[in-house]
Amino acid sequence: MNVNQERIKQLQQEMKAAGMDMYLVPTADFHQSEYVGTYFKVRAWLSGFSGSAGTLLVTADKAYLWTDGRYFIQAAKQLEDTGVVLMKMGEEGVPTVEEFLEEQLPENGCLGCDGRTIHVAEGKAFEEMLAKKNGILKCDKDLGGKIWTDRPEMSREPVYLLDIKYTGKSREEKIEAVREEMKKAGANTHIISSLDDIVWLLNIRGNDIMYNPVVLSYVMITMDKVYFYVQEEAVSEEVRGELEKAGIEICPYFAVYEDVKGLKASDKVLLEDICTNYTLYKAIPEHTEVVFEANPAAIMKGNKNQTEMENIRIAHIKDAKAMCRFIYWLKQNVGSGEVTEYSAAEKSLELRKEDPDCLDLSFETICAYGPNAAMCHYAPTETEYAKVEPKGFFLIDSGGQYWQGTTDITRTIAVGVLTQEQKEHFTLVLQGHIRLAMAKFQYGCSGANLDPLVRGPLWERGLDFNHGTGHGVGYLLNVHEGPQNINWRMRANGRRGNMTPFEEGMLTSNEPGLYLEGKYGIRTENLLLCRKAEKNGYGQFMEFENVTWVPYEREAILPEMLTKAERQWLNEYHKRVYEIVGPMLDEKERAWLLEATAEI
């Protein structure tokens, strides 16, 4: 019995003692964050699967792990010999977690979980399903935490202030704008649990989740007060003073659960059901009316203002310099036999950190050679990595956190001879990428409308990729941010961002790919700013502005597969890359870039 089997057996013993038939362990903190701090990695500790997305369900004698297409290969590898059954989400014949529970939970059964790690909509759905079976939901026990005896402490990294020269708006202006939206909803109280929305609203940042500069906290806004629930040792006197000037009262982190119990019958509370944990919601008195709507801050945060947009352009030029230097370094050194996936990841970090405005990475760098690149979110470690050979493809997906914004870029690089198949596949991915970059569309179009543009070249050949085409990106914030995304698939849960219309100022990734298990993976990613184009009798048209300036791999492109318009776009893009980045490089790097951006 390996360590994960032992841990799950311990959990099953605790379940039995608590009278639970099944126990749910999602990938979540108390704020429904996509990525979580080490304290909250209960699912990973129990199962052995370290991916950022997954749900563990433990029964009296078995365990199941649901994850999405980004992690199928990784999960299969990490769950080997653990006894945990991999449930591939979206695959034919694989039930959802909810369907599985409805089918397998016995009559009069009990489902357990830590209610702080499921959101309101999930909790309500579980209660409704259990009612049909005369069952109950016990959501007051953190059983995983009970058996995790050497669990790390909850992070309480220092909070720091973000200057208005970066934010474009003061915290007072933002709070007032949120109150205006509260009035429209008829609410006099607004509870915010989502960490990125909170730090955006208060013009602060932190480091409580690796690569995501957020602060573990809650906010409750009334029409005359703002309560900031935070671990008080994380707040310096300087930060406290600035927040108090704006009428923000600092309160202990966990005090929010008691404070909401004091809400009156005359109060009307606005909160977002998929961002608020179930335990917090259940603490609100039954006599208090709750309005479920999207957090106003989330909508405002997604539409970058003019100051943020200008800073974002600067951040991406800084990032382009580092990435161009990285590609030159890789091509110069791959033949030495000394380059590994891990050393390449370290080199990309080193080059980014040479810029004093780079604070950190925006996510764990994905450096993947050959078959490893077929695992969408594979990342090497200091002890587990592949050597990069002078043949085939090398994929790097990386980004930085700058004072001027957040970057995210993927390039698939030829490190040696390519096959005809590799070139065809690379060109198909690039073609879809270019089609989105070139898109002009009517205002009101969403990611669901635009996704077929990107996937078209692959679909025509019976090919596809099993992840979204694009996600929103924050400003010195989470690299994955809503409300928008680009994905044709309809999601039963979540903000359904693929139906959110594109607005001016939205920063979105453009990242089609293709993955052949055991062979190679290809992905090409730029970030796009949505801008208004012309307005005429047909309506308001929208378009995208590229902010990423790094060459695509010319050696992998088959020009004859591209249309004339696509080739023209590519040549103009490469010309612009050289104009922007060339002057920042040394002589040898500049000579390489001139060749890398030559017309095709």
Report the C-alpha dihedral over residues 577, 581, 582, 585, rounded to 10 degrees: -150
Give the per-residue SS3 of 360-412.
EECCCCEEEEHHHHHCCCCCCCCCCCCECCCECEEEEEECEEECCEECCEEEE
- Determine, yes or no, domain membership for 235: yes
Domain's final residue, options 97, 126, 147: 147
- Sheet with 268-271: strands ordered across: 248-252, 226-230, 217-222, 189-192, 268-271, 289-292
* Domain identity same for 333 and 264: no
* Domain identity same for 106 and 183: no
* Domain identity same for 200 and 285: yes
Helices (H) and strands (E) in the chain, counts: 19, 28
How much is the pLDDT for 89? 92
**pLDDT beneath 70, residues of the chain:** 490-497
How much is the pLDDT for 492? 40
Domain's final residue, options 114, 147, 180: 147
Domain's final residue, options 282, 300, 318: 300
- Going by C-alpha positions, the residue among 273, 199, 297 that lies closest to residue 243 is 199
Q: What domain count does the chain have?
A: 3
CATH number, domain of 197, equals 3.40.350.10
CB atoms within 10 A of CB 599: 12
Range of the domain at 407: 303-596
How much is the pLDDT for 146? 94
- Going by C-alpha positions, the residue among 297, 304, 200 that lies closest to residue 531 is 304
* Domain identity same for 310 and 229: no
* Domain identity same for 9 and 64: yes
How much is the pLDDT for 491? 57
How much is the pLDDT for 92? 92
How much is the pLDDT for 376? 83
Spell out a b/e string for 435-473, using b for 16 or more CB atoms within 10 Å of the CB, else e: bbbebebebeebbbbbbebbbebbeeeeeebbbbbbbbb
* Domain identity same for 438 and 494: yes
- Gap between the Cα atoms of 576 and 600, Å rounded: 15
Query: Residue 264 to residues 225, 267, 285, 439: CA-CA distances in angstroms?
Result: 16, 5, 8, 50
How much is the pLDDT for 388? 97
- Gap between the Cα atoms of 503 and 542, Å rounded: 8
- Going by C-alpha positions, the residue among 185, 423, 414 that lies closest to residue 290 is 185
